[in-house]
Amino acid sequence: MSDKEGEARQHPRSEVMLKVEYPGYEDFLHDYTENISKGGTFVYSEREWRVGDRLRLTLSFPGLLRAIQLRGEVAWVRKEQDRGIGVRFLFDENPESEQQLATLVKAIERGESTALARRIRILVVEDNQFIQKLLRDGLDSLARKRMADSVTLIFREAANGFDGLELIGKETVDLLVCDLYLPVLDGFELIRRVRQQHPKGQLPILAFSAGGPDAGRRALALGADIFLDKPLRLTKVFETICDLLRLGEAMRQQGSPGATL
């Protein structure tokens, strides 16, 4: 795991606050099994450390509803390549933290919603990289504002229908969002082929285009669940996604941005 942020120390042995974030829960589980459960771990850091320096660590990863607070001290220092410190956790000073970690690990392994946010995997198939980025950043921002920590959006992107179809065959996707006029394999054919593999009810499809009503009717006839005209409004796209994935009325609050794509 790596040190993401911290506060300056008054002197070398003052207690340091560190926020340590794992790329995902799988990385946290691996570190817990291999290191943390045995009393310590390694943290990458460019700071100057001394053995015995005291730490307060906040362990987190994307989708974790409540971060874990731990106390520790520097057990050893590595100053060459991949600089960092070996941390020994002081579970004896805060016994509850050891139990919290064990409880969290069990909850993650069981997939309990009390510990983790729901992960929504969205595939965006769009050949315009600018629109790809606006959709990704805009929807992610809306989700953070409206859904707090209850849902995490994970985006995958493809620039043509063929690459999108291949990705669906390799990875789990919860929602397909696609333009209809794409290179290599257009959105109409993409929808038709996806529906051969995933009937309605299995994988929701949101199609969009500047092609007007005729394009929309054709997309719906091929199996799309919803069609939206360009230019897209982020709020409309977001609320449509909430409907398709049954995310609930709690997702819809006032004060959302009105950007168009």
pLDDT tens digit string along 3-27? 554 443 444 456 888 888 888 888 9
* Whole-number Å distance between alpha carbons of 57 and 81: 23
* pLDDT > 70? residue 261: no
Q: Average of pLDDT values for 152-176?
A: 92
Q: What average pLDDT is seen over the chain? A: 84
**Strands 175-179 and 118-125, bridge-based pairing:** parallel
Element (H, E) at 155: strand 151-158
198 near 167, Cβ under 8 Å? no
Domains of the chain (ranges, CATH numbers): 2-110 (2.40.10.220), 118-251 (3.40.50.2300)
Q: Average of pLDDT values for 231-251?
A: 79
- According to the model, what pLDDT value does residue 143 have? 84
- According to the model, what pLDDT value does residue 4 have? 52
Q: In the chain, what percentage of residues exceed pLDDT 70?
A: 85
pLDDT tens digit string along 170-208? 988 999 999 999 999 999 999 999 999 998 888 999 999
Two structure tokens written together for 257: 């941005």
